[in-house]
Amino acid sequence: MFLQIVGVTIDFCNFQAVHCDNEIAGGFNPGEGILICGNHLTMQDEVTQVVIHELIHAYDDCKAKNLDWSNCAHHACSEIRAGHLSGDCHYKRELLRGYLKIRGHEPECIKRRVMKSMKANPNCSEAAAKDAMEAVWDVCYNDTQPFDRAP
């Protein structure tokens, strides 16, 4: 089954529910598709959020010219966009994770989660990941495509 979204064709055969050994909820692998780690998700809302997050990565992979996932800035940008546009850092989710901050929680959460994700990129040291994230922050955080605005 296929779905056409903003000029990108999504093949639902490229979605896999798998058992993950790592402490991750899901992932996107170019050319392979979207993985959902069923053993780390307990509610439908969590599954929905992970799918949206990974679809942002898939969108970026399809739409960005010359996106290179081994490039720290490219990877950081997609993580910033996915964190911002998926609602991953909504205050309710942060509260459930044990983070309680009323103001400014979303950018802080996104930065924390970008760094967590980039640890898995063997091409990005912690310092390189942080520098890349800071360098692309404004442009990537404000890029809401394919949406009109962030949710």
Q: Are 150 and 85 in contact (CB under 8 A)?
A: yes
- Give me the long-range contacts of 105-108 (CB less than 8 A, separation at least 24): 107/141
User: Which among 23, 32, 46, 54 is annotated as catalytic?
Assistant: 54
Residue 106 designated active-site: no
CB count in 10 Å sphere of residue 92: 9
26-29, strands of its sheet edge to edge? 15-18, 33-37, 26-29
Q: Which helix (H) or strand (E) holds 74?
A: helix 72-85
> What is the C-alpha separation between 120 and 39, in angstroms, rounded?
19
Catalytic center residues = 54
